[in-house]
Amino acid sequence: MTVARRIDGKAKAAELAVSITSDASTLLVEHGIRPGLAVVIVGEDPASQVYVRNKKRTAESCGFHSVQRTLADDASQTDVLQLIEDLNGDAAIHGILVQLPLPEHLDEQAITQAIEPSKDVDGFHFVNIGKLTAGRTSDAFVPCTPAACMLMIEDEIGSDLSGKNAVVIGRSNIVGKPMASLLIKANATVTITHSRTKDLPQVVAGADIVVAAVGRPNMVKADWIKEGAIVIDVGINRVEKTVDGETKMGLTGDVDYDAVCAVAGAITPVPGGVGPMTIIMLMANTLRSARFSAGLEG
């Protein structure tokens, strides 16, 4: 029986953090530039607060200048746009991200598009999306989660995916679509699936690489997976779990991990897989932006 290799995102992120911290230190010593990351959060959503704390802690541990700007839940569109304009003009800030989701009264697209493309370390600006779609990533920021997934896939089977069939489950602008663009750039044959895909299990069963990003706990079953496939689970779902007879809230992915482990060649766990890698890719993008500002890349 196959037992899938566990792709340890936490360990890979720790390894990358060492090199990012070293490069940030060199940039400061040689060019007087400390990478600066500003996180904007609107409201008091508990999950968002946790994510923001993790990003701030990681930025500080990498030696970055880390700034958090918190606005009240009822902040106006004008308030948010003014804050972004101020950060766009701040030379000490190289990366700006707005923590999503935003309160319903705010226009998410208008706000994310207000960030200067050169500081859009989330990779959500249409300029960066266009460059990624065109395969021109040398001076673009790639969304952090797809970038993280690609690194983990490359670690398993290399950077040239010629002849590989990849299926992306989910078509979001944040994960599904940019993930497909990265896989195409690496020469994979790519299928994007979603809630309206006919015979989804059959489509997934032909894939050498599966990226699940739909937000439905344990949706992807073992009989969906080709033997030896690489399975990347982007899902983070809060569910009730029973441990030693006690029911608690825990995290699970979009993939039925235990069952799929018996079929797949390699798989990311949840937690400890894509999540830690997403945060470290945010740091990598911020460092790149700081290097761009010094004329060292591009």
* Average pLDDT of the residues in 248-260: 92
Indicate if 113 belongs to the active site.
Answer: no
Whether pLDDT at 157 is above 90: yes
- Clarify whether 122 is annotated catalytic: yes
Where does the pLDDT of residue 237 fall: very low under 50, low under 70, confident under 90, or very high at 90 and above?
Answer: confident
Closest CA to 38 of 78, 93, 106: 93
Structure-token pair, residue 110: 């208008």
pLDDT at 158: 97
Sole residue written with tokens 């319903």: 104
Burial 226-243 (b: 16+ CB within 10 A, else e): beebbbbbbbbbeeeeee
Q: Which residue of the set 99, 119, 185, 226 is catalytic?
A: 99
99 has catalytic annotation: yes
Could you tell me how many residues make up the chain?
Answer: 298
Chain region(s) in the chain for CATH 3.40.50.720: 144-275
Q: Catalytic pick from 12, 23, 55, 120? A: 55
CB 210 within 8 A of CB 229: yes
For residue 238, what are the contacts with CB-CB under 8 A and spacing of at least 6?
249, 250, 251
SS3 53: helix
Whole-number pLDDT of residue 47: 82
Quote the tokens at residue 196.
Answer: 């309206």
**Share of residues in the chain with pLDDT > 90 (%):** 89
Q: Are 275 and 233 in contact, with CB atoms under 8 Å apart?
A: no
Tell me the mean pLDDT in the region 189-216.
96
Supply the DSSP symbol for 79.
H
d(CA 247, CA 266): 29
β 237-243/246-252 pair status: antiparallel
What is residue 46's predicted lDDT score, i.e. its pLDDT?
84
pLDDT at 267 over 60: yes
Tokens of 288: 């790149």
| Both tokens assigned to 164 | 């590989």
Stretch 233-251: mean pLDDT = 83
What would the DSSP string read from start to end of 199-263?
THHHHHTT-SEEEE-S--TT-B-GGGSPTT-EEEE---EEEEEEETTEEEEEEE-SB-HHHHTTT
Res. 2 pLDDT band, cuts 50 70 90: low
- Measured distance CA(15)–CA(10) in Å, rounded: 9
For residue 156, what pLDDT is reported? 97
**pLDDT tens per residue, range 81-126:** 999 999 999 999 999 999 999 999 999 999 999 999 999 999 999 9
Report strand pairing: 189-193 vs 165-169.
parallel
Please state, rounded to an integer, the average pLDDT across all residues of the chain. 95
> To 10 degrees, what angle do helices 46-61 and 274-293 make?
50
The whole-angstrom separation of Cα 49 and Cα 95 is 19
Q: Which CATH superfamily is domain 144-275 in?
A: NAD(P)-binding Rossmann-like Domain (3.40.50.720)
Whole-number Å distance between alpha carbons of 127 and 136: 11
What's the confidence (pLDDT) of residue 1? 57
* Separation CA 67–CA 36 (nearest Å): 8
Per CATH, domain 31-116 is 3.40.630.30: no
Question: 179-188, 242-251, 273-282: lowest mean pLDDT where?
Answer: 242-251
Tell me where in the chain the CATH 3.40.50.10860 domain(s) lie: 31-116
Rounded Cα distance between 28 and 25, Å, is: 5
Q: How many CB atoms lie within 10 A of CB 115?
A: 24
Band of pLDDT at residue 195, cut at 50, 70 and 90: confident
The one catalytic residue among 122, 233, 254, 256: 122
Please give the structure tokens belonging to residue 179: 């993930």
Of 43-47, 54-58, 59-63, 230-234, the poorest mean pLDDT is in 43-47
What pLDDT shows up at residue 249?
Answer: 82
Residue 14 near residue 278, CB atoms below 8 Å: no
Asked whether residue 270 carries a pLDDT value surpassing 80, the answer given is: yes
